[in-house]
DNA sequence: TAGTCATTTCAGAAATTTCTGAAATGTAAG
DNA sequence: CTTACATTTCAGAAATTTCTGAAATGACTA
């Protein structure tokens, strides 16, 4: 499969960004290719479009599957596996955020709690710092858990609302009655 | 400088997580060490606490400085450079988010806009996908820009509020009058 | 200005990650 | 069961990143 110039450039960009996003070039390219392809692709097609080895494609797809970033499809009468990305971009964002949290945040939160469980270390500053960090992460993951529950429609409204949200909170620390009354 | 067991474990954890966070082990360890140390440290102390080479410390500190994650301090009568992390964790979070956005999001947004500028590519699906992705990223960075403006106090209130925020948006798409009236 | 110490640079070594080709495994159809 | 693919695994090769020691640079002071 020959790529259009647009596809080509898009794929190469994702490959280059890969390392900043914590995935390797090939994985970035495979994802990009699936993302801008209207139809599901099989491993052979990917291999040939990206000019990589078949085994590299296999490993890349495995990695993307471990991130829940691709969906497996089957074409009747063809026993090869076909892959796509979800049509809904918000679904992709949710997956990405959730997986990154799982890999980049949760292990640290666990470790911080473990460190606190080990009891007084005779190092007040470090202990305070660990506790403070743990509390901050808990606040942020707690907020994330709430946002995760929202339907996409409300999430979008919320984001579009922007800083007008801030007006809801008065500086003294209370909130407007409409908020405390609801739910 | 000998590390306490707490410091030791904290530092090692950050080193291991480094690769997932897009920094290398040493950089993660240096940052962690500065973070849990009550006093600013100089390069010599870091080198010796982490058992790495002096040049590695130098490069690691340079990297952390490029991320704006450390502050340079000077001790009177001592011409060596001393480094710390900000006391305020929210300041750290703001820096981290802003730098990650700069490195991981902005280049892609630029590239997507470039691709769109290149005009019709004769590939409707890919074009639509690029436009959709660009719009999504613009919405999210726009929201981020608004949140960035908020004082920490309000940001914390907002996060603690959690999903009660969702109650503000009715399902039909409007918002409560209190919101539209303010500001 | 010469001497001392702090820091940076950089070429090559070491470690790690990524990629490939070949072999092994899995799987459906005849 | 055998054949015909499709996919995965894996050992080593290739590429990239990280780290080191030595030399260069910078900057203060006596």
Q: Where are chain B's structural domains? A: 5-84, 87-149, 153-183
Please say whether the beta carbons of A18 and A25 come within 8 A.
yes
Residue A27 C-beta-side C-alpha neighbours within 13 Å: 18
pLDDT level of residue A40 (50, 70, 90 thresholds): very high
- β-bridge partners, B71: B84
- Say yes or no for a CB contact (<8 Å) between B4 and A164: no
Q: Is the dihedral of CA B100, B103, B106, B111 positive or negative?
A: negative
- pLDDT (average), residues A108-126: 95
Map residue A42 onto helix, strand or coil: strand
CA-to-C1' distance for B95 and D27, Å? 31
pLDDT level of residue A162 (50, 70, 90 thresholds): confident
Its CATH architecture, for the domain A5-84, is Orthogonal Bundle (1.10)
pLDDT digits (tens, 9 = 90+) for A127-144: 999 999 999 999 999 999
- Say yes or no for a CB contact (<8 Å) between A104 and B20: yes
Name every chain A residue with its beta carbon within 8 A of the beta carbon of B157.
169, 173, 175
**CB-based contact (8 Å) between B37 and chain A?**
yes
**CB-based contact (8 Å) between A168 and chain B?**
yes
Q: Of A100-104, A171-175, B13-17, B39-43, which gets the smallest average pLDDT?
A: A171-175
Which among B2, B4, B6 is the top mutation candidate for probing chain A, defined by the most A β-carbons within 10 Å of its own β-carbon? Answer: B6
């Amino acid at each position: 499969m020959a790529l259009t110039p647009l596809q080509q450039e898009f794929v190469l960009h994702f490959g280059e960004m890969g390392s900043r996003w914590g995935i390797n070039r090939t994985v970035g390219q495979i994802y990009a290719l699936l993302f801008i392809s209207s139809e599901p692709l099989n491993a052979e097609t990917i291999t040939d479009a990206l000019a990589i080895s078949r085994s590299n494609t296999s490993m890349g797809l495995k990695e993307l599957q471990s991130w829940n970033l691709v969906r497996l499809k089957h074409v009747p009468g063809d026993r090869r596996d076909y892959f796509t990305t979800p049509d809904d971009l918000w679904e992709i964002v949710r997956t990405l955020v959730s997986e990154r949290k799982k890999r980049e945040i949760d292990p640290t939160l666990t470790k911080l709690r473990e460190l606190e469980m080990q009891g007084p270390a005779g190092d007040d500053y470090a202990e305070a710092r660990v506790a403070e960090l743990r509390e901050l992460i808990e606040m942020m993951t707690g907020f994330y858990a709430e946002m995760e529950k929202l339907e996409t429609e409300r999430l979008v409204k919320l984001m579009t609302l922007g800083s007008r949200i801030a007006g809801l909170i008065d500086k003294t620390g209370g909130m407007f009655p409409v908020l405390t009354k609801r739910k």
